[in-house]
């Protein structure tokens, strides 16, 4: 299995069959559709209708509403009627977990139902069960009996269905046989898909969501590869679950969704943020609009050989160590001050360095940049010991103090220069200069790090093409991925850079990232975006990670407020993952690999988890955040802020 998309070099959308959701076509040649989900109580018709209208007005083309029981399922008809009365024909989707009777009711009333194969016919017990082949087949038979009535209703009423697999809520059966893996996620969807097909029902959209972008991207790729192998072409619904809020949520969503869109995968997307659902829509639009004219990009030479890496399993590209770059080192962050007229100590303040005058020392944050490109500038102040500068080769040659400074050459210049560093030289290359001969020659140089630059509109693919050539030639030179952005607003800058760089990092490519930007954001935002991308791809952890659900009609507390409260107390706990989930039904499963969990169990009641194990049940919401901190402390993961340097 080597292919999961039409082309790795030429942008081309994977053509899926068209599925009609009411009048709305998903897949085929339709535009990539944008959708979201309400967070109101489904029984509160007016609140749900009004929120739906806000979403629709923002550009939402499909509104999903939770239907935890038969009552909510029935109320979907009332909501639909009210929306129609107010002039809105947008199709509705019922979100179902654990309740086949609600699904069967909703399928008669509205345009689409979403089922989660992990919990449609199973109660999740997190049990490992040894299945013999015959007991496994018996289990599948049980699911067939439970699921077939819904398939028949959908077929009869012309209702569409999403088979929405979620990492973290796989059935015990799948977990026992395939583990908590992308393969298990794909098989989970296929169990249900086969039943649909046996009934000659094909109005199906599939999703493979996870909060871990690596798992999510691998699962979708595996799904498409398996569909291609078996001649299937169902539309794909893309999403990163529990992406969180604000900058982190946007970066994480862009990394996961963007990586797939870049390869032409995806027919509809939902960006899940712990914010009001209408705020998700502009993010989704920005992500999708980038591909409207992507076909026109400058041609990239095709790679017609067997892929020299495995796109279905993460492995970091092997590279040699040059100072603190490559090999086992975390990917480095390079800031670009090349256009500045001069560099002072204050220039570093937005890059994670703060100078304390009374102590006469530099303080570093977890997001202290590793290298700064200063172009033709010289530096005349004492710099922090952990920071290094990159200069134009000309400025570096004139530099009297080259101790923490290294030159940047262009490809042609490097071999002709009589002045090179005997520690580290950066050599900038693009797809034209990175020829086979050049790779062979430059790879023999011990102290070189390549900077891969691109100006192609399909830049991720062009940089990937460059990496393929390096892999083919078995070159182990460390590589820096450099991207250039101009005149974007802050949100677009974050989304685009996360997509472009995150996609490559998820494939194990990149020993560092370098973002050059003009008229987009402050150096501080640029730096924090760069660290955010590394965090979202889990290649370098510099922050606490929050896996917080977007909330829905099942949510038992104010998720936005609680997330903010927990964040305020814990955002210094680098590397810890905290799940904040609105309900006990899906929360424990969907917080996936969180280290600690804060889950709503009833009105005003919270349960706290260590990993997947509940350790404090039904704590009152007033004391729950304190109890969570105590739990983190009891497990030795707590650090006082004052102890941080």
Provide the minimum distance between the beta carbon of 195 and ligand SF4 in the complex, in angstroms, as a whole number. Answer: 24
Report the residue number, 537 or 562, with the smaller CB distance to ligand SF4.
Answer: 562
CA–chain centroid gap for 626, Å, is: 30
Report the residue number, 256 or 550, with the smaller CB distance to ligand SF4.
Answer: 550
Report the residue number, 510 or 579, with the smaller CB distance to ligand SF4.
Answer: 579
CA–chain centroid gap for 32, Å, is: 18
What span, in angstroms and rounded, lies between the C-alpha atoms of 397 and 395?
Answer: 5
Report the residue number, 52 or 586, with the smaller CB distance to ligand SF4.
Answer: 586
Report the residue number, 272 or 492, with the smaller CB distance to ligand SF4.
Answer: 272
Provide the minimum distance between the beta carbon of 118 and ligand SF4 in the complex, in angstroms, as a whole number. Answer: 12
Burial class (CB in 10 A: 0-12, 13-18, 19+), 638: middle
Phi, psi angles (nearest 5°) of residue 524:
-65, -45
Provide the minimum distance between the beta carbon of 61 and ligand SF4 in the complex, in angstroms, as a whole number. Answer: 20
Q: b/e for 78-103, b at 16 or more Cβ within 10 A?
A: ebbebbeeeebebbbbbbbbbbeebb
Query: Pick from 190, 269, 244, 204: which is nearest to 590 by CA?
Result: 244
Residue number closest to ligand SF4, CB atom: 582
**Are the beta carbons of 345 and 361 closer than 8 angstroms?**
no
Provide the minimum distance between the beta carbon of 559 and ligand SF4 in the complex, in angstroms, as a whole number. Answer: 7
What span, in angstroms and rounded, lies between the C-alpha atoms of 391 and 139?
Answer: 64
Q: What residues contact residue 421 under an 8 Å CB cut-off, 6+ apart?
A: 396, 402, 406, 407, 447
Report the residue number, 331 or 579, with the smaller CB distance to ligand SF4.
Answer: 579
What span, in angstroms and rounded, lies between the C-alpha atoms of 364 and 353?
Answer: 5
Provide the minimum distance between the beta carbon of 123 and ligand SF4 in the complex, in angstroms, as a whole number. Answer: 15
Provide the minimum distance between the beta carbon of 120 and ligand SF4 in the complex, in angstroms, as a whole number. Answer: 14
Query: Pick from 142, 204, 214, 207: which is nearest to 172 by CA?
Result: 142
| Binding stretches for ligand SF4 (CB under 6 A) | 549-552, 554-555, 581-583, 585-587, 590
Provide the minimum distance between the beta carbon of 557 and ligand SF4 in the complex, in angstroms, as a whole number. Answer: 9
CA–chain centroid gap for 594, Å, is: 16
Provide the minimum distance between the beta carbon of 66 and ligand SF4 in the complex, in angstroms, as a whole number. Answer: 6
Report the residue number, 206 or 547, with the smaller CB distance to ligand SF4.
Answer: 547
The beta-strand segments (E) located in 330-478 are: 332-336, 353-356, 361-364, 371-373, 388-392, 405-410, 425-429, 448-452
Provide the minimum distance between the beta carbon of 551 and ligand SF4 in the complex, in angstroms, as a whole number. Answer: 5
Report the residue number, 384 or 550, with the smaller CB distance to ligand SF4.
Answer: 550
Report the residue number, 256 or 510, with the smaller CB distance to ligand SF4.
Answer: 256
On the CB side of 354, CA atoms within 13 Å amount to 10
Provide the minimum distance between the beta carbon of 199 and ligand SF4 in the complex, in angstroms, as a whole number. Answer: 28
Provide the minimum distance between the beta carbon of 550 and ligand SF4 in the complex, in angstroms, as a whole number. Answer: 5
Q: What residues contact residue 605 under an 8 Å CB cut-off, 6+ apart?
A: 556, 618, 619, 620, 621
Classify strands 24-26 and 19-21 as parallel, antiparallel or unpaired.
antiparallel
Query: Pick from 151, 104, 111, 118: which is nearest to 26 by CA?
Result: 111
Report the residue number, 450 or 566, with the smaller CB distance to ligand SF4.
Answer: 566
Structure tokens, 350:
């937005």
Provide the minimum distance between the beta carbon of 175 and ligand SF4 in the complex, in angstroms, as a whole number. Answer: 19
What span, in angstroms and rounded, lies between the C-alpha atoms of 565 and 128?
Answer: 36
> Would you mind telling me the total number of residues written for the chain in this entry?
645
Report the residue number, 43 or 639, with the smaller CB distance to ligand SF4.
Answer: 43
Which residues, in sequence order, are bridge partners of residue 79?
none
Report the residue number, 439 or 606, with the smaller CB distance to ligand SF4.
Answer: 606
Burial class (CB in 10 A: 0-12, 13-18, 19+), 191: buried
Report the residue number, 210 or 367, with the smaller CB distance to ligand SF4.
Answer: 210
Report the residue number, 162 or 554, with the smaller CB distance to ligand SF4.
Answer: 554
Number of other CB atoms surrounding residue 642 within 10 Å? 5
Provide the minimum distance between the beta carbon of 549 and ligand SF4 in the complex, in angstroms, as a whole number. Answer: 3
Provide the minimum distance between the beta carbon of 587 and ligand SF4 in the complex, in angstroms, as a whole number. Answer: 4
Q: What residues contact residue 52 under an 8 Å CB cut-off, 6+ apart?
A: 38, 63, 65, 79, 83, 88, 90, 92
Provide the minimum distance between the beta carbon of 555 and ligand SF4 in the complex, in angstroms, as a whole number. Answer: 4
**Are the beta carbons of 247 and 273 closer than 8 angstroms?**
no
Q: What residues contact residue 469 under an 8 Å CB cut-off, 6+ apart?
A: 434, 436, 439
What span, in angstroms and rounded, lies between the C-alpha atoms of 136 and 142?
Answer: 10
Report the residue number, 555 or 570, with the smaller CB distance to ligand SF4.
Answer: 555
Number of other CB atoms surrounding residue 365 within 10 Å? 17
Provide the minimum distance between the beta carbon of 585 and ligand SF4 in the complex, in angstroms, as a whole number. Answer: 6
């Amino acid at each position: 299995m080597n292919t999961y998309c039409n082309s790795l070099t030429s942008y081309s959308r994977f053509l899926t069959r068209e599925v009609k959701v009411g009048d709305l076509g998903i897949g085929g040649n339709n535009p990539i559709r944008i959708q979201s989900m309400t967070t109101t109580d489904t029984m509160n018709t007016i609140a749900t209708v009004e929120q739906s209208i806000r979403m629709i007005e923002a550009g939402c083309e499909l509104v999903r509403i939770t239907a935890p029981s038969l009552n909510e399922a029935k109320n979907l008809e009332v909501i639909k009627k009210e929306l129609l009365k107010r002039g809105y024909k947008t199709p509705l989707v019922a979100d179902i977990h654990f309740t086949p009777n609600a699904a069967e009711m909703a399928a008669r009333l509205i345009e689409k139902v979403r089922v989660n194969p992990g919990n449609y016919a199973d109660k999740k017990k997190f049990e490992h069960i040894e299945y013999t082949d015959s007991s496994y087949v018996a289990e599948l038979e049980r699911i067939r009996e439970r699921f077939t009535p819904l398939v028949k209703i959908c077929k009869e009423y012309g209702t569409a269905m999403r088979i929405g697999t979620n990492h973290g809520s796989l059935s015990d059966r799948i977990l026992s046989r395939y583990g908590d893996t992308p393969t298990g996620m794909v098989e989970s969807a296929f169990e249900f898909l086969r039943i649909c097909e046996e009934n000659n029902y094909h109005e199906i959209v599939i999703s493979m969501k996870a909060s871990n972008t690596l798992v999510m991207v691998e699962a979708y790729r595996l799904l498409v590869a398996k569909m291609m192998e078996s001649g299937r072409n169902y539309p794909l619904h893309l999403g990163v679950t529990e992406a969180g809020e604000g900058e982190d949520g946007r970066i994480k969503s862009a990394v996961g969704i963007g990586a797939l869109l870049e390869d032409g995968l995806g027919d509809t997307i939902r960006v899940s943020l712990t914010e009001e659902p209408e705020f998700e829509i502009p993010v989704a639009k920005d992500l999708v609009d980038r591909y409207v004219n992507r076909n026109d990009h400058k041609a990239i030479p095709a790679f017609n050989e067997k892929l020299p890496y495995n796109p279905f399993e993460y492995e970091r590209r092997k590279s040699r160590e040059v100072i603190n770059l490559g090999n086992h080192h975390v990917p480095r962050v390079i800031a670009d001050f090349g256009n500045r007229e001069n560099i002072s100590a204050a220039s570093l303040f937005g890059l994670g360095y703060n100078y304390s005058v009374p102590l006469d020392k530099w303080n570093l944050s977890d997001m202290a940049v590793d290298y700064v490109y200063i172009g033709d500038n010289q530096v005349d102040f004492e710099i922090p010991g952990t920071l290094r500068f990159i200069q134009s080769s000309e400025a570096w040659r004139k530099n009297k103090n080259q101790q923490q400074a290294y030159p940047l050459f262009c490809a042609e210049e490097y071999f002709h220069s009589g002045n090179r560093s005997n520690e580290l030289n950066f050599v900038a290359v693009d797809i034209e200069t990175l020829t086979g001969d050049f790779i062979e020659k430059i790879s023999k140089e011990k102290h070189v790090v390549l900077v891969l630059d691109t100006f192609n509109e399909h830049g991720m693919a062009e940089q990937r093409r460059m990496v393929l050539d390096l892999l083919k030639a078995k070159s182990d030179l460390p590589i820096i991925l450099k991207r250039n952005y101009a005149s974007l607003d802050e949100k677009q800058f974050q989304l685009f850079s996360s997509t472009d760089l995150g996609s490559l990092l998820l494939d194990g490519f990149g020993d560092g990232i370098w973002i050059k930007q003009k008229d987009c954001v402050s150096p501080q935002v640029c730096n924090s975006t760069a660290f955010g991308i590394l965090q979202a791809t889990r290649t370098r952890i510099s922050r606490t990670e929050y896996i917080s659900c977007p909330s829905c009609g099942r949510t038992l507390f104010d998720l936005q407020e609680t997330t903010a409260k927990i964040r305020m107390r814990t955002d210094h706990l680098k590397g810890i993952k905290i799940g904040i989930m609105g309900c006990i039904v899906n929360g424990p499963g969907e917080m996936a690999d969180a280290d600690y969990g804060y889950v709503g169990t009833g009105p005003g009641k919270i349960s706290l988890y260590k990993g997947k194990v509940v350790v404090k049940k039904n704590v009152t919401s007033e004391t729950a955040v304190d109890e969570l901190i105590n739990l983190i402390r009891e497990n030795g993961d707590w650090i006082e802020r004052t102890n941080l340097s």
